[in-house]
């Protein structure tokens, strides 16, 4: 990681006390500089206030860079568009975890390592059977991933780099197996096992869709689209679930527990749950004639309805992942001969929203989740699996960020402060006097 440098100092003056505080301004390699407020409380007695961390950098990181105004997403310096076009997901995993793209030999070795970690301890299958059949697959994911620490004790010492790497490989490798089993369990089909001759994406499709009565024939275009979806979701710097993983990890919790925390956070509709919510929204809108009515609902602050798959905390221009997915969507539907009226509806909704002043003024554009659901539906996934696929693909990002945090000498337990608005100390009232 390139070291941050001291750029200059900034002065904060407090008219209430007449005091001045000097705050160092730090500079990374690219992107906004930061005001270092670590000593502010000690010097002034003030906290800073930033709910939702809209202006706060929580860590140093050298993994992913986003320029929201330019619609740019870089992993270790490489454009997401280039990675999606020229790499497979395993190369992107290697890049995120090790900091550089693998050469041919390194790629083969890494793929071999991941492939040979895809099987699960057989007893883990008993966990699935404890869930109700109608359990949401994300609920199963949270439970089973958290339980992995009970099976893989030999990779839970976070101070041992070797154990951290083994845990990272295990998580990336076992996630498709667990995701496919969550699907199998909720659809009442027998569990399938991984096959080492298949690629990462192919193996996931095989484990999800093949049944003992019939081998699933893997369409190369579908496998490529699946792989691309994994690449596009692999990492996204300090988003809600990644920050959750970092905060969970900052206490020294084991990696499996930290990733389970990330999955829980991802589940919400404002984050990874949006892809499922987009499809539900399109079903609800139903016909393009209803679009104006739903746009009015989205603009009405008294109505909880939001245009799902639109808007982003960081992107105030096109989400580059949405651009790649939009063309991938056309390709996959074409290859599969699927003519989905929802795609037509989604395109029309995007067109009308982008012409609307409300969305233009607020710079609300389609995000990664707007088109991904339509592709996943065409491949044959039920909507309840959409966020599971996001979690599967994001695991490598969580794991890379967790490793980076553990090895950061400035790492401290995550412990925000608060602006207290409750009662000051008051006299206790015995129960018979309340
Ligand atoms: N529909 C209608 N209005 C919206 C939307 C939307 N999807 N998104 C934001 N706005 C409005 C919001 O009401 C606010 O208006 P005003 O300034 O008049 O109060 C303004 O735009 C700014 O929104 P915000 O909620 O302050 O922005 P945020 O950065 O806190 O939220 C977001 C970002 C992604 C949570 C939000 O845009 C949203 O809820 N989008 C829909 C859910 C979604 O698609 N989430 C997936 C995000 S991408 C995948 C991922 O990284 O997880």
Nearest atom (ligand 1) to Cα of 319: 48
Alpha-carbon span 381 to 345, nearest angstrom: 20
**Residue 261 vs residues 8, 243, 281, 313: alpha-carbon distances, Å:** 38, 10, 27, 21
Whose Cα sits closest to atom 31 in ligand 1?
313
Sheet architecture: strand order including 5-14? 5-14, 19-27, 34-35
Q: Mind listing the pLDDT tens digit for each residue in 203-216?
A: 999 999 999 998 89
Ligand 1 pocket member 93 (CB < 6 A): no
CB-based contact 259:241 (threshold 8 Å): no
Centre of ligand 1 to C-alpha 311, Å, is: 5
Closest to 58 in 3D by CA, of 235, 257, 239 = 239
Q: Quick one: CATH architecture of 101-410?
A: Orthogonal Bundle (1.10)
Closest to 233 in 3D by CA, of 130, 340, 324, 149 = 324
**pLDDT > 90: what percent of the chain?**
84
pTM: 0.92
pLDDT value of position 1: 58
Alpha-carbon span 87 to 106, nearest angstrom: 14
Q: Mind listing the pLDDT tens digit for each residue in 374-433?
A: 889 889 999 999 999 999 999 999 999 999 999 999 889 999 999 999 999 999 999 999
Q: Mind listing the pLDDT tens digit for each residue in 149-176?
A: 999 998 899 999 999 999 999 999 999 9
**pLDDT > 70: what percent of the chain?**
100
- Averaged pLDDT of the chain: 94
Ligand 1 pocket member 360 (CB < 6 A): no
Does the pLDDT at position 320 exceed 70?
Answer: yes
The mean-pLDDT minimum among 50-59, 109-118, 274-283, 323-332 falls in 323-332
**Residue 108 — pLDDT band, cuts 50, 70, 90?**
very high
CB-based contact 236:242 (threshold 8 Å): yes
Ligand 1 pocket member 98 (CB < 6 A): no
369 is catalytic: yes
Start-to-end CA span in the chain (Å): 59
Nearest atom (ligand 1) to Cα of 298: 2
**Residue 288 — pLDDT band, cuts 50, 70, 90?**
very high
∠ Cα 30 34 35 (to 5°): 160
Centre of ligand 1 to C-alpha 281, Å, is: 15
Q: Mind listing the pLDDT tens digit for each residue in 66-106?
A: 999 999 999 999 999 999 999 999 999 999 999 999 999 99
CB-based contact 387:272 (threshold 8 Å): yes
Look at residue 366 and give its three-state secondary structure: strand
CB-based contact 249:406 (threshold 8 Å): yes
Q: What is the pLDDT averaged over residues 336-348?
A: 87
φ and ψ of 378, to 5 deg: -65, -35
Alpha-carbon span 422 to 153, nearest angstrom: 43
Q: Quick one: how far is CA 359 from the chain centroid?
A: 24
312 is catalytic: yes
Write the CATH number of the domain with boundaries 5-57. Answer: 2.20.28.60
CB-based contact 219:332 (threshold 8 Å): no
Structure tokens at 98: 């090790």
Nearest atom (ligand 1) to Cα of 54: 29
Ligand 1 pocket member 362 (CB < 6 A): yes
Centre of ligand 1 to C-alpha 102, Å, is: 37
Sequence-distant (6+) residues with CB within 8 A of 159 are none
CB-based contact 26:48 (threshold 8 Å): no
- Catalytic pick among 287, 312, 356, 357: 312
Domains of the chain by residue range? 5-57, 101-410
């Amino acid at each position: 990681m390139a070291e941050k440098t001291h750029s200059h100092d900034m002065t904060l003056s407090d008219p209430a006390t007449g005091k001045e505080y000097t705050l160092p301004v730090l500079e990374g390699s690219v992107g906004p500089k930061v005001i270092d407020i670590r000593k502010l409380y000690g010097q002034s007695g003030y906290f800073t206030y930033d709910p939702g961390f809209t202006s706060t950098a929580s860590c140093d990181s050298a993994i992913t860079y986003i320029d929201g105004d330019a619609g740019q997403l870089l992993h270790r310096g490489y454009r997401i568009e280039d990675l999606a076009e020229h790499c497979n997901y395993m190369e992107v995993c290697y890049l995120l975890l090790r900091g550089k793209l693998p050469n041919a030999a390194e790629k083969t070795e890494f793929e071999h390592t991941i492939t040979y970690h895809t099987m699960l301890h057989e007893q883990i299958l008993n966990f699935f059977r404890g869930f109700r059949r109608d359990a949401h697959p994300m609920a199963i994911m949270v439970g089973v991933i958290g339980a992995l620490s009970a099976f893989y004790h030999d990779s839970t010492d976070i101070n041992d780099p070797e154990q951290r790497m083994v845990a990272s490989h295990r998580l990336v490798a076992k996630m498709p197996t667990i995701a496919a089993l969550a699907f199998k369990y909720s659809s009442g089909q027998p569990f399938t096992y991984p096959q080492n001759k298949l690629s990462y994406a192919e193996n996931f499709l095989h484990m999800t869709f093949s049944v003992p009565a019939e081998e699933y024939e893997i369409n190369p275009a579908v496998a490529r689209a699946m792989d691309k979806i994994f690449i596009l979701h692999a990492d996204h710097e300090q988003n809600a679930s990644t920050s959750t993983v970092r905060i969970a990890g900052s206490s020294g919790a084991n990696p499996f527990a930290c990733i389970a925390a990330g999955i829980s956070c991802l589940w919400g509709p404002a984050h990874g749950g949006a892809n499922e919510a987009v499809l539900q929204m399109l079903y609800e809108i139903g016909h393009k004639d209803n679009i104006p009515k739903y746009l009015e609902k989205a603009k009405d602050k008294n109505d909880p309805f939001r245009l799902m798959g639109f808007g982003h905390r960081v992107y105030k221009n096109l989400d580059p992942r949405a651009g790649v997915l939009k063309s991938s969507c056309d390709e996959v539907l074409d290859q599969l001969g699927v003519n989905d009226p929802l795609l037509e509806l989604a395109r029309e909704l995007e067109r009308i929203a982008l012409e609307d002043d409300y969305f233009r003024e607020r710079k609300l554009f389609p995000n990664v989740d707007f088109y991904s659901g339509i592709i996943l539906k065409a491949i044959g996934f039920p909507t309840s699996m959409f966020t599971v696929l996001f979690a599967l693909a994001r695991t490598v990002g969580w794991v890379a960020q967790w490793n980076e945090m553990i090895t950061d000498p400035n790492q401290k337990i995550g412990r925000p402060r608060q602006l207290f608005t409750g009662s000051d100390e008051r006299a206790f009232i015995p129960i018979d006097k309340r």
